């Protein structure tokens, strides 16, 4: 059986807008954030979908729902030694995230940018990406003009851009579709 917990924790930088149109912001060209109620609904739909999937597969897990940076974050965790680890491989998490996004889109009629984390898979992937960035930076320090990383999702590229920036280097994305990848250069 799964437990579902909901939490809304906006960061200081997040602006929470009501569904009404802010004409001053609109005329200034500012994009409005999605209203929190929509993100909460998106998170609830996603949690229900994941909970049903876990029940069908007879996999134990606790589901936490969080909203931040204009996205719903769904985390599934369980005690050590449970069978949840079967779903925590990066490709599996990515596939489940897309299925969950489709389930949310089917019910809301709008595109979903939700993020799914299973058994800490996002933290593990971020550590892998940091290692890739460190290796690329080592190539730059050895004299390469630029260092390319493998193709990855937009979310992973965003994480890479953040890591690269923290290290004092510059990065940009190149390529189209599934071939889109990050290239790192010296500042």
Task: Please write the tens of the pLDDT for every residue from 157-183.
Answer: 999 999 999 999 999 999 999 899 999
> What is the CATH number assigned to the segment(s) 36-119?
3.30.300.20
pLDDT of residue 70: 87
- Is the pLDDT higher at 57 or at 25? 57
- Bridge partners (DSSP) of residue 71 are 68
SS3 state of residue 28: coil
Please tell me the distance from the alpha carbon of residue 65 to that of residue 5, in angstroms, as a whole number. 6
pLDDT level of residue 69 (50, 70, 90 thresholds): confident
pTM check: above 0.75: no
Q: Which tens digits make up the pLDDT trace of 123-148?
A: 888 999 999 999 999 999 999 999 99
DSSP state of 34: P
Other C-beta atoms closer than 10 Å to the C-beta of 174 total 12
Give CATH 3.30.1370.50 domain extents, the chain. 123-185
Report the chain's mean pLDDT, rounded to a whole number.
82
Query: CA-CA distance, 126 to 179, in Å (whole number)?
Result: 20
- CATH homologous superfamily for 123-185? R3H-like domain (3.30.1370.50)
State percent of the chain over pLDDT 70. 81
Measure the N-to-C terminal CA separation of the chain; round to a whole number of Å. Answer: 51
Confidence of residue 36 (pLDDT cuts 50, 70, 90): low
Q: Where in the chain is the domain with CATH 3.30.300.20?
A: 36-119
Least-confidence region, from 23-37, 59-73, 135-149, 155-169: 23-37
Give me the pLDDT at residue 175, please: 95
Q: Would you tell me the crossing angle of helices 36-57 and 90-108 to the nearest 10 degrees? A: 120
The alpha helices in 28-87, defined as continuous H runs, are 36-57
What is the rounded average pLDDT of the residues 107-124? Answer: 92
Residue spans of beta strands (DSSP E) within the chain = 3-8, 62-68, 71-77, 115-118, 146-151, 170-174, 181-185
Distance, in Å, from the CA atom of 128 to the CA atom of 133, rounded to the nearest integer, reads: 9
């Amino acid at each position: 059986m799964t437990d579902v917990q909901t939490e809304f924790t906006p960061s200081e930088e997040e602006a929470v807008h009501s569904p009404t149109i802010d004409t001053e912001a609109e005329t200034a060209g500012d994009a409005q954030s999605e209203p929190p109620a929509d993100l909460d609904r998106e998170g609830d739909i996603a949690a229900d979908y994941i909970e049903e999937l876990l029940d069908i597969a007879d996999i134990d897990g606790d589901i936490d729902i969080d909203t931040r940076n204009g996205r719903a974050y769904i985390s599934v965790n369980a005690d050590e030694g449970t069978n949840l680890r079967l779903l925590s491989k990066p490709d599996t998490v990515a596939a489940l995230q897309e299925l969950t996004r489709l389930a949310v889109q089917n019910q809301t009629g709008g595109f979903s940018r939700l993020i799914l984390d299973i058994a800490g898979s996002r933290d593990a992937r971020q550590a892998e990406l940091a290692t890739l960035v460190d290796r690329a930076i080592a190539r730059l320090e050895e004299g390469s003009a630029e260092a390319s990383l493998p193709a990855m999702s937009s979310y992973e590229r965003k994480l890479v851009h953040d890591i690269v920036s923290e290290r004092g280097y510059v990065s940009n994305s190149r390529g189209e579709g599934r071939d889109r990848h990050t290239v790192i250069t010296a500042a």
